[in-house]
Structure 1
Amino acid sequence: MSDRLVYVIGPSGAGKDSVLQGLRQVWPAAAPAHWARRSITRPATSGGEHHEALEDSSFEQQRQANAFAMHWKANGLSYGIRHSELQPLDFGHWVFVNGSRSWLPELLARWPEATVVHIGAAPAVLAQRLSARGRETAESVAARLGRQVHLDLPVDSIRIDNNGVLETAVAELQQALRDRSADAMLSE
């Protein structure tokens, strides 16, 4: 049921966390879903998503012990998705992962039927959102925005433009998932 594995990617500041949170609030209860919690080498008090905070050494030890089904590095941090976060797939549930563009080839090699969602926004919107977070210097924000990532998105990937009202992006994603799914529970 890897088509129910929804892997969400996009540049920093595109609003991936916000869109996923919005989708979670409107997701039909009849279609069981799990929102994968990430393990990140970032303090838990840094704002943003609720994640498992790990020290660099602990993350690396766990990565070497195969504790993560998915793992990548981005923007000076290490990210992982524990195997247990994907177990709901075994029961036919939907699983949403806030992933990385750099890990997309590995994802598609392991789960070729996964649904890939790319959330994007205009450079000016990204810059404003990253600056508003207050976690980075202006130079760090500029470096993030200047990073070019070549993506070979699957032809059937879902693309969401999140430049405007959050509710619009959430509704577009919900509709796109309904349109491509055979899960009758999504139409309720």
Structure 2
Amino acid sequence: MTGGRLIAVVGPSGVGKDSIMAALASPQMPLVRRAITRAPGLGGEDYDAMTPADFAKATEAGAFCLHWSAHGLQYGIPAQVRRDVEAGADRIVNLSRGALGEAAKIFARLVVLHITASPETLAQRLKHRGREDTGDIAKRLASAQKPLPAGLNVIEIVNDGPLEAAVAKARAALQPDRV
């Protein structure tokens, strides 16, 4: 068996990653629940809230197959995800662009679903969700154009229009016989 795929969904804040992931999730490709050093109940995803001290202990104990820091928070992917993918399962996860290089070393079949949108669309979505102030929105927009590491299997999806259109493009591109 060649193993499954880790579908890494990346893109700037406000691009619609959580919405697209929720629409793509299925029993055959479930969402990965991340551990995050964020208070419980914040954000658009289900996650395991951890204190920084608990996160450090979990990291030391090998609880994560991949972990990184971004925007003042720490994120971890449970070690079980690696075992599942190696056993042939597909998993879909929200990753940081900065974690892709390490993910490519860990997962033989890493597929990057890069979600993009225009700066105007991103600004509107970030303002609407109400988690960032004007300064934070400006910082997120400035970092939105960061390039992805070279050499990855990347599928680009533009999410400027109806969500259903972006989901349909992603679903078609992720068919097992295509990637």
TM-score by length of 2: 0.89
Assess if the C-alpha contact under 8 Å between 1:2 and 1:114 holds in 2: no
Matched, 1:173 2:170: yes
Q: Aligned pair in 2 of structure 1 residues 134, 43: CA closer, same or farther (>3 Å)?
A: same
Q: Which has the higher helix share?
A: 1
- The equivalences for 1:38-187 within 5 A come to 38-147=34-143, 149-154=146-151, 156-178=153-175, 180-181=178-179
Q: Report the equivalent of 2:5.
A: 4
Assess if the C-alpha contact under 8 Å between 1:6 and 1:94 holds in 2: yes
CA distance, structure 2, for counterparts of residue 3 and residue 36 of structure 1: 14
Identity %: 41
SS at match of 2:174: helix
Q: Which runs of 5+ in 1 are unaligned?
A: 182-188
Report the alpha carbon displacement of residue 153 of structure 1 after superposing the two structures with TM.
4.4
CA distance, structure 2, for counterparts of residue 66 and residue 59 of structure 1: 11
Letter in 1 for 2:13: S
Compare 150-159 and 97-106 and name the one that shifted more. 150-159
SS at match of 2:14: coil
CA distance, structure 1, for counterparts of residue 151 and residue 126 of structure 2: 27
TM-score by length of 1: 0.85
CA distance, structure 2, for counterparts of residue 141 and residue 12 of structure 1: 9
Letter in 2 for 1:8: V
Report the alpha carbon displacement of residue 117 of structure 1 after superposing the two structures with TM.
1.1
Report the alpha carbon displacement of residue 33 of structure 1 after superposing the two structures with TM.
2.1
SS at match of 2:84: helix
CA distance, structure 2, for counterparts of residue 145 and residue 118 of structure 1: 16
CA distance, structure 1, for counterparts of residue 134 and residue 52 of structure 2: 25
Letter in 1 for 2:170: L
SS at match of 1:85: helix
Q: Aligned pair in 2 of structure 1 residues 149, 2: CA closer, same or farther (>3 Å)?
A: farther
